[in-house]
Structure 1
Amino acid sequence: MRTAGALALTLGLLGLAPAPAALTPTAYAVDVPRTWRVGPDRALTAPSQAAAVAGDGDTVLIDAGTYDGDVATWTQDDLTLRGVGGRAHLRAAGRSAQGKAIWVVAGDRTRIDRIEFSGAAVPDQNGAGIRQEGTDLTVTRSWFHDNQNGILTGADPDSDIVIRRSRFFRSGAGDGYTHNLYVGAVRSLTVTGSWLWGADVGHELKSRAARTTIVANRIDDAGATASYSIDVPNGGRTLVAGNVVVQGPRSENSTLVSYGAEGLTHSSRTLWVVHNTFVNRRTSGTFVALADGALAHLRNNLLLGAGELTSRPPVSARANRRVGPRGFVDAAAHDYRLRASSPAVDRGVRVPRRWRPLLEYAHPTRLVRRPSADRADLGAHELH
């Protein structure tokens, strides 16, 4: 649609009205999305400069490289922020936006791709790579490491958080309140094809979302002092499917998956834990800890290592099997694909389609389709 300035110019050229004496860009501009290029050799040399000029719906392409101490607040809606030629690395270097994060994302429906965030630390001990304050966020192919929190979101009952093929590692302030990934009371969280590892005392993943979907990821404490691998403290409709979850020997909490530990405050208390490979490298533990009142369904999971399947029997549990390392291609090297001789092959029971994992994690941070079979295999991988 033309602006008033553009219409006046057209009428003037037709002799029907005087043309404006002078035209500025705002006299004839229309609201169309723009693409901004950022890089050391470009007019905009840092992402924060793009944050100051971009408009709603724009795309910001950031050249691969390291941007030390460049922090920003993004207030625009429908932004796409993407690294090109590789990841664009935002290294905090002692700075933060609003005392909160490397990036504070205040706009709605933001998409972030191929960006790396590291070193976020603030006096409040909750500095994040991204502090999400707007509604809806999609993050793909991005890295978050050595921050107090990788991503920290606020509470927004209308917000959907989607994370795909990303890495979260070595974050946490060591106080137990900060985590690799910490999502507040949003409408939904979906994490697929991602690798979370090495949290410092805190959890690898914590979600207060009303709906939490964690499918086809690798979640591994490695040698760190992490607490829960997956923490869903307030319940909600939750699916944990097709993941490889490894609790390390130095973990400070013996539970791998915790559901409802802070009270089942969401209207749904339904949890499905299906086709996961759970590995406990501690000498004891609990694979799935449940609050009283949880409606949990545990199906087709493989258990390697010591520990009880669940803390609250009786529970709806079928075809969950403890196995030794020789059933995997190379458990010592973290390759938990099945051997043809594994007792997990063709031992699965039927799971309703809406709760089945259709994807598998392929290291690092890739997704492949899980083959369909007349009778499914147990664990996170179907024998190919």
Structure 2
Amino acid sequence: MAFARRCLTALALGALALTTLTALTALADPRPFESTDLGRIRRNDQGQLEVVKTPPDGASGASSGPADAAASQPAAPAQLGGKKAPAAAAGGRTIVVGPQEPVRSIPEAARMARDGDTIEIRSGDYRQQAVVWTQARLTIRGIGKRPRLIADGDHAEGKALWVVRNANMLIENVEFRGARVPDGNGAGIRFEKGHLKVVRCAFFDNEMGILTSNFADAELEVEDSEFGEAPKHAGALHHLLYAGQIARLSVRGSRFQQGFRGHLIKSRARESSILYNLLVDGPDGRASYELEFPNGGLAWVIGNIIGQSDNTDNRELVSYGAEGPHWPDNALYLAHNTLVDPLLVGRFLHVWSDKMPPGTEVWAVNNLLVGHAVFAPLGPGRHDGNLVVDRSLLVDGAGLAFRLPNNSPLRGTATPPGFARQQSLAPSAEFKLPAGTRPLPAGIPLTAGALQ
């Protein structure tokens, strides 16, 4: 019996040694794990590397994806019937990037990442971290205080800090700063193909904030993000967000300011949904159009505050159809926006009806027009409930000096805007600083403009 016990003990010790050696070898291997035992690598309090298991779906600590984030927001007109938002990576590993982590650079994480992985980036400044993302399914998010990617002259393929090649991808809580490339179109993100969702990100001092391709089935969603500080050097026009001839652009709860010669948002998309944003150039801005749809398309513009700078290079806030149509379906639905133009000879809206197909619908309903600019929506449709007020009649509420005071006789007097194409034009939310939205109570009396 004693001999048998000694044999069993020896076998157990041998198995333990083999398991320990295998684990150490796996931790020392910088390549992606081949094992199905998924988890993330971190350094513990004793300075040793360890693998932390990823919680199963639904367990405590599991992160929510963009589908969860979208579920917490009121339905938006252009989102109804649209494609499902990209889901956060499910079942993959979590790769942690940071100065004190085994993976210290974003390009290294990009080389390791496989479809379905999540990359978490610790707070800090990451210089010269340009990447071309080739994975088909990926989630990238900053952890804690938003990590900053600073170009410092670096770029991927002469295009951008990050190039998204063809992916179903979520990028969350990351700042992109200082992109410059030889052709003057250096973007924080160049989105080429697939479905990209950008949430709580920031784009400052880039030649382009986000720039897309012209793939007709690509879709871009931007939520709760900030764009600004367009560079003032000579070269191409520096748009803060420029969507090419893609299937759909959705921008919600985001702030755009401090443009220079380019536009705050320019969209050639087949369908554009611009909801509950703050597009106010500010005293330091010199943007051209605040919002432009040069090729028409189906454009939903609801609940935005859109304001021009005294120093603008263009006296028009919103432009539709300046270069003629590209898509077979064209209509502009402009409802419950606050349009601010300080210029005496400005124009709140320019619809280039002579360049668009006859019968192109233009609806302008319940907009609050601040200033003395011209408002002349052209084309068949509805043009009612639009009110003109002087800037002096507006008050500051929650940091936004664009709200009618509570005692204004104009409050609560707007007629419900109704439906277009079976979709409601009534606002269900409003912008809040620094970026984001707050839901509106259901059934409240509506007021002209964006702020209820």
Aligned 8 A contact 1:198 1:226 in 2: yes
1:116 maps to 175
1:297 to 360, 363, 368: 363
The share of aligned pairs that are identical, in percent, is 35
Partner-residue secondary structure (3-state), 1:48: helix
2:324 maps to 263
Aligned 8 A contact 1:327 1:341 in 2: no
- Alignment map for 1:220-231 (pairs within 5 Å): 220-222=280-282, 223-231=284-292
1:218 matched to 2:278: yes
1:197 maps to 257
Partner-residue secondary structure (3-state), 1:368: strand
- Alignment map for 1:205-354 (pairs within 5 Å): 205-222=265-282, 223-292=284-353, 293=358, 294-310=360-376, 312=378, 316-330=382-396, 334-351=400-417, 352=419, 353-354=423-424
Partner-residue secondary structure (3-state), 2:181: coil
Partners of 1:140 and 1:266 in 2: CA distance: 28
Q: Which runs of 5+ in 2 are unaligned?
A: 1-21, 27-31, 39-90
Larger radius of gyration: 2
Aligned 8 A contact 1:176 1:203 in 2: no
| Structure 1 residues 271 and 311: CA distance shift in structure 2, 3 A | closer
Q: Render the CA deviation track for 1:259-285: whole Å, top value 9, x for unaligned.
A: 111112211211100000111122321
Aligned 8 A contact 1:299 1:349 in 2: no
Partner-residue secondary structure (3-state), 2:122: strand
Residue type of the partner of 1:289? H
Partners of 1:334 and 1:363 in 2: CA distance: 8
Aligned 8 A contact 2:361 2:379 in 1: no
Partners of 2:118 and 2:322 in 1: CA distance: 41
1:157 maps to 216
1:180 to 231, 240, 251: 240
| Structure 1 residues 99 and 163: CA distance shift in structure 2, 3 A | same
Partners of 1:81 and 1:355 in 2: CA distance: 34
> Post-superposition shift, 1:48?
1.1
Q: Render the CA deviation track for 1:208-256: whole Å, top value 9, x for unaligned.
A: 1101000000001112210000011111111111011110101111110
> Post-superposition shift, 1:314?
7.2
> Post-superposition shift, 1:313?
6.7
- Alignment map for 1:341-380 (pairs within 5 Å): 341-351=407-417, 352=419, 353-373=423-443, 375-380=445-450
1:143 to 202, 227, 240: 202
Partners of 2:287 and 2:349 in 1: CA distance: 16
Residue type of the partner of 1:77? A
2:185 to 103, 117, 126: 126
Superposition RMSD in Å: 2.2
> Post-superposition shift, 1:306?
1.9
Q: Render the CA deviation track for 1:286-323: whole Å, top value 9, x for unaligned.
A: 11110214310000000111211126377631010101
1:47 to 106, 113, 120: 106
Bigger mean CA offset, 297-306 vs 346-355: 346-355
Residue type of the partner of 2:361? L
| Structure 1 residues 132 and 348: CA distance shift in structure 2, 3 A | same
Q: Render the CA deviation track for 1:162-221: whole Å, top value 9, x for unaligned.
A: 100000102255556330000111111111110001111000000111010000000011
- Alignment map for 1:65-104 (pairs within 5 Å): 65-104=124-163
Bigger mean CA offset, 228-237 vs 289-298: 289-298
| Structure 1 residues 27 and 375: CA distance shift in structure 2, 3 A | closer
| Structure 1 residues 176 and 232: CA distance shift in structure 2, 3 A | farther
Give aligned pairs, total. Answer: 360
Q: Render the CA deviation track for 1:117-160: whole Å, top value 9, x for unaligned.
A: 01000110000000111311000000001000000010122222
Please identify which structure carries the higher strand content.
1
Residue type of the partner of 1:185? Q
Q: Which runs of 5+ in 1 are unaligned?
A: 1-21
> Post-superposition shift, 1:106?
1.0
Bigger mean CA offset, 175-184 vs 249-258: 175-184
| Structure 1 residues 29 and 231: CA distance shift in structure 2, 3 A | same
Partners of 1:28 and 1:224 in 2: CA distance: 52
Partners of 2:375 and 2:142 in 1: CA distance: 42
